[in-house]
Structure 1
Amino acid sequence: MILGVPKEIKPHEYRVGMTPTAVKELTAYGHHVYIETLAGTGVGFNDQDYIDAGGFISPTAEHVFSTAEMIIKVKEPQISERKLLRERQVLFTYLHLAPDLAQAKDLIKSKAICIAYETVTDHNNKLPLLAPMSEVAGRMSIQAGAFALEKSRGGQGILLGGVPGVNAANVVIIGGGVVGSNAAQMAIGLKANVTIIDRDINVLRQLDIQFGGKINTIYATNTAIEDHVIRADLVIGGVLVAGAAAPKLVTKAMIEKMKAGSAIVDVAIDQGGCVETSHPTTHDDPTYIIDDVVHYCVANMPGAVARTSTVALNNATLPYIVALANKGYKQALLDDKHLRDGLNIYQGDITCKNVALSLHLPYIEAEKKLNE
């Protein structure tokens, strides 16, 4: 198979779809990999590194898209990239379609085969290709929150862990999954007071055991969320429904009751955000203030630590890329139910139920579509 890796063009996105190590793995199977020139420079990989791994350097994104049978990316294709997709071309990347009708319509129109990292599952019904970036984003959320609480950003001017004789900050984490547990780990390390809210009692039990009683665990009800949010210094939004738009668990009315100078980091912003007042921001301009509450809603948080994120992501995606290349996309998808869960759009039809429901568009079951 011919694979293509274009340079990411989303603002301040330095990650790259494949490392030289991943390219070497694919070329060892006899596949050809075309990498757009300078695609890896943001994470320290130059063109020669890819050549040494057996790859070919393409002069432009247009050349990559026109040459490759399968495109490997990190972030969702931007408008200019979507115009380059063609019928039956495979796109394997993060898509986050639920809050993005324009992208979904373009991908449907392209008739490409669009597989989303964030909805691929595993035998434990977890999300193995989302997990590494959720780990990064969860840990970064505490750094971002500490930054947002600084007076120069509009925050209260408090230190998360306090100092002897001064109270530590109250950190409330909504969602006890990968993002939430990693955020808690960092917040505990900084000696903040940490509360995790989740609707799954078994998750709360696990977190209580994991952190040895160093956190407060609360069962999620509307009342519980409101009570803890309005008393928080920092709120981390880490909820996820695979493929679907994030539920708006923190309302504008709650924001109005929060302390002036408190902060919110909405990690769920890629899926539309779990805070009613959230909208996507960039690393250039990461925060804004509504009702005296600082909002940090950067949609590609892991891009700020691009080297770590790229290697972690490649470790997770490589086996799936190899399967798609070795077997061909159709056989690979038919053979592996969990990879098939990642199929969001197939030749003009939405094949992920949660995406279809979120966008109010027709849905067809992936297996049925593949067997037509």
Structure 2
Amino acid sequence: MFVGVPKEIKNHEYRVGLTPASVRELVAAGHTLIVETAAGAGIGASDEDYRAAGARIAATATEVFASADMIVKVKEPQPTECALLRPGQLLFTYLHLAPDPEQAKALLASGAICVAYETVTAADGSLPLLAPMSEVAGRMAIQAGAHSLEKAQGGLGVLLSGVPGVAPGKVVIIGGGIVGSNAALVASGMGADVTVIDRSPAVLRRLSAQFGTRVKLVHATRESVEAEVSSADLVVGAVLIPGAAAPKLISRAMLSKMKPGAVIVDVAIDQGGCCETSKATTHAEPTYVVDGIVHYCVANMPGGVARTSTYALNAATLPFALALAGKGWKAALKDDVHLRNGLNICEGKLTRPEVAEALGLAFTPADSLI
């Protein structure tokens, strides 16, 4: 198969769909690779590195999209990229369609086959292609939140670790999945006062086994969320309903009960955010203030540590990319129900029920299209 890798064009997105090592694996499997010039610059991979791995270098994204049967990216295609997709072309990347009707409409109109990293599943029900970026985002959430708490950034002026004689900052993490547990790992390691809220007893037991008494655990109810958020210095929104829009667990009314200068890091922003006042931001302008509360809502947080993120992502995505390229999308999806769960759009039809519900569009089961 002819596989193309364009340079990412989202604001401050430095990751790349395939590393030179991944390109080499695909070439060894008999595929032809075309990579846009400077696509790997953000991770320190030069055009010569890609040539040495067996890829051809293209001068423009237009050339990549026009040549390739399969496009491998990281972030959702931007409007100019959607316009380059053609009927029958395979797109393999993150999509996060539920909060993004314009992207969904553009992809439906393109006639392309779009397989989203974030809805590919594993046998245990986990999301293996979302997991590595969730690990990165969870750890970065505390780093970003700690910086945003600095007075010069508009924050409360609290050091999360505290110092002898001064209490540490309070971190409240809503959601105990991969993002939440990694945020708790870093926050507790810094010496912060950490509370994780989750509605699943199984998750709370897992976190108890992992952290012992270093992290407080609270069962999620409207009352407990409001009580914990109101006393927090830093809140991390880490909730996820696979493929669907994130539930709004922090209302605007709750902001008035928080400390002025407290920080919300809404990691769920890719799925619309779990705070009513959240709106997507970029690494160029990561924060804004509503009712005295600093909001950090960068929609591509792992792009800020592009090298780590790209290598972690490729370790997870490469086997699926090899399957799609080697078998073709229909056979690959027919053979693997977990990869089939990644199919979001197929030749003008929406194939994920959660996305269809969020956008108010018709749904076609993936099984009927392969």
| TM over 0.5, shorter chain | yes
Deviation at 1:154?
1.0
Match of 1:234 in 2: 234
Partner-residue secondary structure (3-state), 2:332: helix
Deviation at 1:224?
0.6
**1:289-328 maps to which residues of 2 (within 5 A)?**
289-328=289-328
Q: Distance in 1 between matches of 2:320 and 2:133?
A: 17
Which runs of 5 or more residues in structure 1 are unaligned?
none
**1:75-114 maps to which residues of 2 (within 5 A)?**
75-114=75-114
- Percent identity, aligned pairs only, is 62
- AA aligned to 1:138 is G
Deviation at 1:219?
0.7
Q: Report the TM-score when normalising by structure 1.
A: 0.99
- AA aligned to 1:192 is A
- AA aligned to 1:369 is L
Partner-residue secondary structure (3-state), 1:11: coil
Deviation at 1:369?
1.7
Partner-residue secondary structure (3-state), 1:12: coil
Match of 2:363 in 1: 363
Partner-residue secondary structure (3-state), 2:156: coil
2:175 is aligned with 1:175: yes
Q: Distance in 2 between matches of 1:369 and 1:300?
A: 31
**1:20-169 maps to which residues of 2 (within 5 A)?**
20-169=20-169
Q: Distance in 1 between matches of 2:74 and 2:174?
A: 26
- AA aligned to 2:299 is A
Q: Distance in 1 between matches of 2:355 and 2:340?
A: 14
Match of 1:12 in 2: 12
Q: Distance in 2 between matches of 1:316 and 1:29?
A: 18
**1:201-240 maps to which residues of 2 (within 5 A)?**
201-240=201-240
Partner-residue secondary structure (3-state), 2:264: strand
Q: Distance in 2 between matches of 1:250 and 1:23?
A: 43
Q: Deviations over 1:119-176 (max 9, x none)?
A: 0000010000000000000000000100110001111101001000001011000000
Partner-residue secondary structure (3-state), 1:309: helix
**1:237-252 maps to which residues of 2 (within 5 A)?**
237-252=237-252
- AA aligned to 1:311 is Y
Deviation at 1:256?
1.4
Match of 1:281 in 2: 281
Partner-residue secondary structure (3-state), 2:212: coil
Partner-residue secondary structure (3-state), 1:212: helix
2:362 is aligned with 1:330: no
> Which aligned runs of 4 or more in structure 1 are off by greater than 6 angstroms?
none
Partner-residue secondary structure (3-state), 2:213: coil
Deviation at 1:87?
0.3
Deviation at 1:213?
1.8
Deviation at 1:212?
1.7
Q: Distance in 2 between matches of 1:173 and 1:262?
A: 14
Partner-residue secondary structure (3-state), 1:9: coil
Q: Distance in 2 between matches of 1:276 and 1:176?
A: 20
Q: Deviations over 1:220-251 (max 9, x none)?
A: 11111001000111000000011100000011
Deviation at 1:326?
0.8
Q: Distance in 2 between matches of 1:30 and 1:153?
A: 51
Which runs of 5 or more residues in structure 2 are unaligned?
none
Partner-residue secondary structure (3-state), 2:208: helix
Q: Distance in 2 between matches of 1:155 and 1:322?
A: 46
Match of 1:193 in 2: 193
- AA aligned to 1:89 is Q
Q: Distance in 2 between matches of 1:309 and 1:236?
A: 20
Match of 2:341 in 1: 341
Q: Distance in 2 between matches of 1:8 and 1:285?
A: 18
Q: Distance in 1 between matches of 2:13 and 2:233?
A: 29
Q: Distance in 1 between matches of 2:29 and 2:115?
A: 22
Q: Distance in 1 between matches of 2:189 and 2:29?
A: 44
Q: Distance in 2 between matches of 1:298 and 1:255?
A: 19
Aligned residues, how many?
370
Q: Distance in 2 between matches of 1:120 and 1:188?
A: 31
Q: Distance in 1 between matches of 2:248 and 2:158?
A: 27
Q: Distance in 1 between matches of 2:126 and 2:319?
A: 16
- AA aligned to 1:51 is R
Q: Distance in 1 between matches of 2:209 and 2:197?
A: 15
Q: Report the TM-score when normalising by structure 2.
A: 0.99
Q: Distance in 2 between matches of 1:176 and 1:362?
A: 32
